[in-house]
Amino acid sequence: MSTHQTATHPGPRPKMSQSVADGLVEQIESLIRSEQLAPGYRIGTKQDLCERYGVAPATLGEAMRVLRARGVIEVRPGPGGGLFVAEQSPLIKLAHAVLALRQDGATVNDVVEVLDALDEAVMRDALLHRSATDVRELKELLAELTEVWDDPVAGLHCNWRLHRRIAAISPNEVLRTFYMHLVEYIEAESVGSSTNFDVMGFHADTDERLQTHKDLVASIESRDEAAMMRALVAHRTLGR
């Protein structure tokens, strides 16, 4: 494709478990991957995209903020402006490689296995580098998780927000980026589909599993490495 063309494929509608903006982000990212759009490719104007995907300008604006933060697009003003495919850093390319796993046939269990292997590094960074603000926000998320634990959808989303917040503490950008995108992949694939999330020993809403998450947060607060390792063993055994 030449860089002056405009992509016109509308793509599928977002899943019911997603917000409209989240679905739009996924569609634009999928379009760039599937069409192998090169940096500098003009995706379209804001008006083009609102009409093409049937969304309001505010929804497009929300999706654009996410896409720009991920380094997927750049926005150019003036005549001939609009949304363009951005030149991507190696980290962004890594993130997109993770997002493309679905097309390559990777199962959720494959991704969970890798995430389990990264948990110790993520948790150790959280122990070493957490701030008082980090601890406070983790406790707030844990309280929310306790409230929605028995809700299969809200509980799942809150669970993964907690894991992402733990990973956000790490100063290692590669570890943080890779881990968070693996979490996004698992979350997107497992919502509403028990067949895609079949982990040995997994029980979605047991009291023991909730306690494991409480123990993970407590070990971060106390910086107790032995308690962290015990919680991680239980976390792997019980599943997420």
pLDDT on residue 92: 66
Residue 44, beta-bridge partner list: 83
User: Do 116 and 179 sit in the same domain of this protein?
Assistant: yes
pLDDT band at 195 (very low <50, low <70, confident <90, very high): very low
Q: Under 8 Å CB-to-CB from 84, ≥6 apart: which residues? A: 39, 40, 41, 42, 43, 73, 74, 75, 76
pLDDT tops 50 at residue 38: yes
pLDDT band at 83 (very low <50, low <70, confident <90, very high): very high
Question: Which of 87, 113, 136 finishes a domain?
Answer: 87
User: Do 29 and 95 sit in the same domain of this protein?
Assistant: no
Decide which of 200 and 141 is more confident.
141
User: Do 141 and 50 sit in the same domain of this protein?
Assistant: no
For 19-33, what is each residue's pLDDT tens digit? 788 889 989 988 988
User: Do 111 and 205 sit in the same domain of this protein?
Assistant: yes
What is the domain range of residue 82? 20-87
User: Do 121 and 193 sit in the same domain of this protein?
Assistant: yes
What is the share, in percent, of the chain residues with pLDDT greater than 70?
77
Mean pLDDT of 130-143: 96
Mean pLDDT of 47-55: 94
Query: Does residue 75 sit within a domain?
Result: yes
Supply 163's token pair: 């894991």
User: Do 102 and 215 sit in the same domain of this protein?
Assistant: yes
The dihedral built from the CA positions of residue 214, 117, 170 and 124, taken in this order, carries a sign that is positive
Instruction: Please state, in angstroms and rounded to a whole number, the distance separating the CA atoms of residues 238 and 64.
Output: 38
Locate all alpha helices (DSSP H) within 70-107, ordered by sequence: 90-99
Chain mean position to CA 117: 18
Mean pLDDT of 130-134: 96
pLDDT band at 194 (very low <50, low <70, confident <90, very high): very low
User: Do 140 and 199 sit in the same domain of this protein?
Assistant: yes
User: Do 45 and 142 sit in the same domain of this protein?
Assistant: no
For 148-192, what is each residue's pLDDT tens digit? 999 888 888 899 999 999 999 999 988 998 898 888 878 877 655
User: Do 222 and 208 sit in the same domain of this protein?
Assistant: yes
Query: Does residue 47 sit within a domain?
Result: yes
Please state the domain count of the chain.
Answer: 2
User: Do 49 and 102 sit in the same domain of this protein?
Assistant: no
